[in-house]
Amino acid sequence: MSANGNGCGAWIAIAVVAVVVWQCTRDRTPEEVETDYSSFSTIEVPETEYPAYPTVDYPATDYGSPEPYVSSGYQDAGAPYGCTDDCSGHDAGWTWAEENGVADPADCGGNSLSFEEGCIAYAEEQQAAQPGEDRW
């Protein structure tokens, strides 16, 4: 036998590698892929009786819509027109409108812009507090 050999061993090695690659990459049918699930463990969960929660029947009560929030003063309403010093003119207009039942900003007037703005703020809040009326 010569040192080079006839190369038969190399061909056998190539053939073995080709068969292994072919076996690893081919698609297998479900019948060929059989899994033995007996080696997997299962957890036994016991049947547990849970207590029934009592049902509570609450009486049907119609509380209606909540009353809209109505401010108690110009500053409490958020001073929508701003104030220059102490809001006394706005407060006076608000108080006058409240005492006279003004509900329409067009009914406000006076000699002072701050008084007029206080009156208008009160009237606008009264209109906003009237549910279901179309102000426009």
| Residue 112 domain-assigned (yes or no) | yes
| Residue 83 domain-assigned (yes or no) | yes
| Residue 50 domain-assigned (yes or no) | no
For position 96, what pLDDT does the model report?
Answer: 92
The domain tally of the chain equals 1
pTM score:
0.44
User: What is the enclosing helix (H) or strand (E) of 14?
Assistant: helix 8-25
Vertex 98 angle, CA 95 and 99, to 5°: 85
The structure tokens listed for 8 are 């038969």
For position 48, what pLDDT does the model report?
Answer: 76
| Residue 97 domain-assigned (yes or no) | yes
| Residue 64 domain-assigned (yes or no) | no
- In this structure, the dihedral spanned by the alpha carbons of residues 87, 90, 93 and 94, taken in order and rounded to 10 degrees, is -90
Q: How far apart are CA 54 and CA 129, in angstroms?
A: 42
For position 1, what pLDDT does the model report?
Answer: 47
Q: Which domain holds residue 81?
A: 71-131
Q: How confident is the model at residue 77 (pLDDT cuts 50, 70, 90)?
A: low
| Residue 6 domain-assigned (yes or no) | no
Vertex 28 angle, CA 24 and 29, to 5°: 170
| Residue 104 domain-assigned (yes or no) | yes
| Residue 42 domain-assigned (yes or no) | no
For position 18, what pLDDT does the model report?
Answer: 87
Q: How many CA atoms lie within 13 A of 71 on its CB side?
A: 20
Question: What are the Cα distances from residue 40, in Å, to 30, 35, 36, 43, 105?
Answer: 20, 10, 8, 10, 81
